[in-house]
Structure 1
Amino acid sequence: MIFVFILALVSKSVLSDTVTIRADEWYPINGDPNSNKPGFMIELAKAVLEPAGHSVDYQVMPWERALDSVRKGSHDCVVGAYKEDAPDFVFPKNHWGLDSTGFFVNNDSDWKFDSLNSLLTKKVGVINGYAYGEELDELISNNPSVFSGLGGNDALEKNIKKLTAGRIDIIIESPNVMRAKLEELKLSNVKQAGTLGEASPMYIACSPAKPSSSNYVELIDKGTDALRASGKLSEILARYGMSDWE
């Protein structure tokens, strides 16, 4: 009996990990690690990983650094990832929401998005390392005089300041994220001027360098199904003013 008890403890210590999640702040997907509302993907990660005996260590860092550290295996997963962000990462089958690419301008602007070419006569703010879709990514890469990229955890807030100061004309951003940031900053002088294409699935995605990633995404897939069946998924999303995407 003593041997069985010790074996159980050893097995639990081997199987129980601290899963490290890194990403730039992208609320309501993920936000302040010390908040009681750290973002719905962080709450989902805890809801599926903690019952399996794992703990979650979530911290913010610039997106490019987060991708690099997870790719190398220094950390386990990122959240809020499109498959285009890191096609080499280990993705679960279940995505954690749909999001689109929006274009935002000052309220007094009469510009509206009608094609990618309509961006080329403007100054456009983007965030370094973000994937905006293959065609737009290529346009950004080929036109550095048009697209101005920022990095760091406060890149969106800096872009909003540049927009309201007239230093750029357009910001490209997730509508959900932009609405949350404008509400946080108590700003009402920015409006959406269009959307690019269809909404794309967002994921938690794990390191291609760590064998444990396959176990984590299996837990994520099974856990997501269980959360949906129990109603817990909808409960978590409702805390952020969102609803189930299925």
Structure 2
Amino acid sequence: MLLSVSWLSVAVAEVVTIRADEWFPFNGKPDSDRPGYMIELAEMILKEHGHTVDYQVLPWLGSLAMVEKGAFDCVVGTDKVEARNFIFAEEPWGKIKSTFYVDAEDQWQYDGLGSLDHRVLGVIGSYSYGDKMDRYIDQHKNSNVQIVNANNALRQNIGKLKGKFIDTVLAFDLVMEAKLRDLGLSNQIQAAGDLEQADYIYIACSPEKRSSRQYADYFSKGIIEMRINGKLKTLLDKYGIKDWDE
């Protein structure tokens, strides 16, 4: 009897709740044909274990807070510093660089924090760009750094750049490039250098839920299997990006 109960508990289908702010191509609009490759990846892996995904968009800080306390299961698109208490998949699900963007005719290039002194920089308030950059932003937020806090913050910063209210935007490369393609501005705004190193990003689950370690194990093993069988490449091709492990 104990064996049958144990088997049934494993077989029960679960709805895994994922929350994050819209951050395409990692996660996009729910219920669309392109909800983001991390969402599709989670759906494909969890389907193999009989589970489904409930993905909805929430502001980023709210998503972190709600998942941390166990109201939802997982977030996508975080690093191990930003969500240090969470349960992480061992395998990363992406890689990003914090990159500076300027008007296509602007010859400025980032060359250390000192090169920002005569620039007007736009950033997103709820994001971390690394310890050094975060300190710079905090020290200059009342002078040459403008912080936007909104669900469409990146689009706002792009608009401010085009309108010459700022002359530099700091953004994550894959997200910015996807947004510029969407807005038809790829030829009008260019990269102008990036911070020192790329960061791996992950799917991470609630430290308050017993199921989190099992999900993290599914996500780690699943992405390895999909890399081997070619399904990961097919999915990434759909979003126009390359495997970060190559």
User: TM-score, normalised to structure 1's length?
Assistant: 0.92
Residue 241 of structure 1, CA deviation: 1.2
Give the distance between the partners of 1:50 and 1:115, measured in 2 at CA. Answer: 46
Residue 108 of structure 1, CA deviation: 2.8
In the alignment, which of 35, 38, 56 is matched to residue 38 of structure 1?
35
Residue 165 of structure 1, CA deviation: 0.8
1:49 is aligned to 2:14:
no
**What SS does the aligned partner of 2:127 have?**
coil
5 Å-filtered alignment, 1:176-215, equals 176-187=174-185, 188-215=187-214
Q: Which amino acid aligns with 1:181?
A: K
Give the distance between the partners of 1:10 and 1:78, measured in 2 at CA. Answer: 25
1:166 is aligned to 2:164:
yes
1:75 is aligned to 2:72:
yes
Give the distance between the partners of 1:62 and 1:119, measured in 2 at CA. Answer: 28
In the alignment, which of 129, 133, 139 is matched to residue 126 of structure 2?
129
Mapped contact 1:32–1:38 kept (Cα < 8 A): yes
Unaligned stretches of 5+ in structure 2?
Answer: none
Which stretches of structure 1, 4 residues or longer, exceed 3 Å deviation after superposition? Answer: 6-11
Give the distance between the partners of 1:147 and 1:207, measured in 2 at CA. Answer: 33
Q: Which residue is equivalent to 2:240?
A: 241
Q: C-alpha root-mean-square deviation of aligned residues, in Å? A: 1.9
Residue 218 of structure 1, CA deviation: 0.8
Give the distance between the partners of 1:201 and 1:242, measured in 2 at CA. Answer: 15
**What SS does the aligned partner of 1:98 have?**
strand
**How many pairs does the alignment contain?**
242
Residue 215 of structure 1, CA deviation: 1.1
5 Å-filtered alignment, 1:115-126, equals 115-126=112-123
Q: Which amino acid aligns with 1:173?
A: A
Mapped contact 1:111–1:193 kept (Cα < 8 A): yes
1:110 is aligned to 2:132:
no
Residue 245 of structure 1, CA deviation: 2.0
Give the distance between the partners of 1:233 and 1:72, measured in 2 at CA. Answer: 31
Identity of matched residues, %: 42
**What SS does the aligned partner of 1:202 have?**
strand
Mapped contact 1:62–1:151 kept (Cα < 8 A): no
Residue 130 of structure 1, CA deviation: 1.0
Residue 11 of structure 1, CA deviation: 5.0
Q: Which residue is equivalent to 2:56?
A: 59
In the alignment, which of 137, 142, 166 is matched to residue 140 of structure 1?
137
Q: Which residue is equivalent to 1:86?
A: 83
**What SS does the aligned partner of 2:97 have?**
strand
Q: Which amino acid aligns with 2:65?
A: D
Unaligned stretches of 5+ in structure 1?
Answer: none
1:24 is aligned to 2:21:
yes
Mapped contact 1:128–1:149 kept (Cα < 8 A): yes
Give the distance between the partners of 1:93 and 1:142, measured in 2 at CA. Answer: 35
Residue 114 of structure 1, CA deviation: 0.4
Residue 220 of structure 1, CA deviation: 0.6
Q: Which amino acid aligns with 1:74?
A: A
